[in-house]
Chains A and B, each alone.
Chain A
Amino acid sequence: MTYTWHFEVLWEYRWIILHGLGYTILFTIICVVLGLLVGLLTGMGRLARSRWITAPIRAYIEVFRCTPVLVQLIWFYYALPVLAGISISAPVAAALCLSLYGGAFYSEIIRGGIIATDPGQTEAGQALGMTRAQVMRRVVLPQAFKRMVPPLISQSIMQLKNTSLLSVLALPDLLYQGQVIAHDTYRPLEIYTLVAVLYFAVLLPVTIWAKRLEFGSSVKES
């Protein structure tokens, strides 16, 4: 049995596809920025001495790392509004969920980068008379950041791929638009191929860039 591919039928839907791609990218940017913010706050917060600060952060990280993001997404949309007694729109629920999910991973990357810095560096800063904040800003973070960038980019790539789950909440991302078109055209093979190619086309340059940064930073540190 041979299948005849008809990619040309998709031309008619080009604007819908582009709209979906734009939505995916925009959503990714929002979730990466918010996720990094959450990650930075909780990652540094975990270095605090007080357990009243570190324990809740740990709980947050473990909850989000140890449950599937699809389950979280559905829970945020259906269960959270009931629990909190407020109505949350699908985009807000999804942004909240994916940001917190990404934040949990970012948090560990940021914390790891900070604690991997040689303690002698902190001591050298302190010996010069720097305060804790000055040591962090001038000595630790610049060195830790170089180590963090490659894994932060990898995690951001995951963030983009995770936005494909938005389709379960009927948000018009790239995959959802693909589904709509598939129903419309009865050409699922063509449209899902195109969707896969588009994800790939967006992410390949990013991974190449990340690889280059990783290589560059390891050379610098040796």
Chain B
Amino acid sequence: MTQASLIEIRGLEKSFGKNAVLKGIHLEVAKGEVVALIGPSGSGKSTLLRCINLLTLPDSGQVRVGDHDAAFGKNATRMPGDRELARFRARTGMVFQHFNLFPHMTALGNVMEGPVTVLKQRRKEAEATARELLQKVGLADKTDVYPDKLSGGQKQRVAIARALAMRPDVMLFDEATSALDPELVGEVLQVIKSLAREGMTMILVTHEIAFAKEVADKVIFMRDGVVVECGPPSQVIEAPLQEATRSFLARFKGTHA
């Protein structure tokens, strides 16, 4: 265990009914690292991501993000309460496949919501930050627009700004471009790329293999609830050691060359 690791996950297990989705996951992410989680659907990568901010509660194992710790199963003394979970989640930013913007708030309102409600920032202060963030994701002209008037790509960029407004230790992206029309994927990936350049720690569940190769420091290939292969993209994507990784990647050849 290096001191530098920002996120530490040990022995993570999760079942939904009889279906074991995660079967003992270990994972460490250093500050500033960009990790791409790839694998076939049903491999557990989204569940793993959702366990990192405790949106899904693990059955057993330990999750640490920064100095927030949570233990589950036999190591746990008790389940974390509502407030504890909220504090834990406030340190992580999450971007969803279906955006999940608040439809009753403008773009600006969406981005201000976390700082105002959770961090109890003054509205003025929160608004200034929110405007900055919307500018950063290229939506300075959409501050007063409601989500139903935004395109998918614009919605997702507002969602990224909303998560960034909490100044999180890590950003989690759950298939952030999967619900987008192909021509809108680029603008969202561009934003993620610029975050990577700024040194934001990120974990991305993605089907964009080419993008993972380009932006990730570490690629994790999962199948059936276990980590099959983990390493730099030059290894996992370009020279995979495992047969399972090879056959998964073979399906992407050609389309994502």
Contacts from A to B (Cβ < 8 Å): 118, 120-121, 123-132, 134, 138-139, 142-143, 146, 221-222
Contacts and interface: CB of A to CB of B under 8 A. Distances in A.
Contacts of B53: 127
Contacts of B92: 127
B117 A130 contact: yes
A120 B100 contact: yes
A126 B148 CA distance: 22
A127 B55 contact: yes
28 contacts: A120-B96, A120-B98, A121-B100, A121-B102, A123-B96, A124-B102, A125-B102, A126-B55, A126-B85, A127-B55, A127-B89, A127-B94, A127-B96, A127-B163, A128-B89, A128-B162, A128-B163, A128-B166, A129-B86, A129-B90, A129-B114, A130-B86, A131-B83, A131-B86, A138-B113, A143-B102, A146-B104, A222-B148
A126 B90 CA distance: 8
Contacts of B94: 124, 127
Nearest to B95: A127
B55 A129 contact: no
Q: Which A-B residue pairs are the 7 nearest by beta carbons?
A: A129-B90, A124-B100, A127-B94, A128-B114, A120-B100, A129-B118, A131-B86
Nearest to B91: A129
Question: Which residue of B90, B117, B118 has the most chain A CB atoms within 10 A of its CB atom?
Answer: B117
B96 A142 contact: no
Interface string B80-114: 00110111111111101010111110000000011
B101 A124 contact: yes
Nearest to A221: B103
Interface residues of B, number: 29
A139 B166 contact: no
B69 to A, nearest CB: 16
Contacts of A131: 82-83, 86
A129 B166 contact: yes
A222 B89 CA distance: 31
B55 A134 contact: no
A115 B93 CA distance: 25
Contacts of B86: 126, 129-131, 134
A219 B103 CA distance: 13
A124 B96 contact: yes
A198 to B, nearest CB: 39
Contacts of B96: 120, 123-124, 127
Contacts of B102: 121, 124-125, 139, 143
B118 A123 contact: no
Given A123-B55, A126-B55, A127-B94, 16 more contacts: A118-B100, A120-B98, A121-B100, A126-B86, A128-B113, A128-B114, A128-B166, A129-B114, A130-B117, A132-B82, A134-B117, A139-B102, A143-B103, A146-B104, A221-B103, A222-B148
B113 A129 contact: no
Nearest to A138: B117
Contacts of B114: 128-130
A45 to B, nearest CB: 17
B89 A126 contact: yes
Contacts of B163: 127-128
A130 B113 CA distance: 10
Nearest to B114: A128
Given A126-B89, A127-B163, A129-B166, A134 B100 contact: no
Interface in B53-95: 53, 55, 82-83, 85-94
Given A127-B94, A130-B117, A134-B118, A142 B104 contact: yes
Nearest to B89: A129
A138 B100 CA distance: 14
A71 B102 CA distance: 45
A123 B117 contact: no
Contacts of B55: 123, 126-127
Contacts of B98: 120
Contacts of B87: 129
Contacts of A130: 86, 114, 117-118
A121 B100 CA distance: 6
Contacts of A128: 89-90, 113-114, 117-118, 162-163, 166
B65 to A, nearest CB: 12
A138 B86 CA distance: 15
Nearest to B92: A127
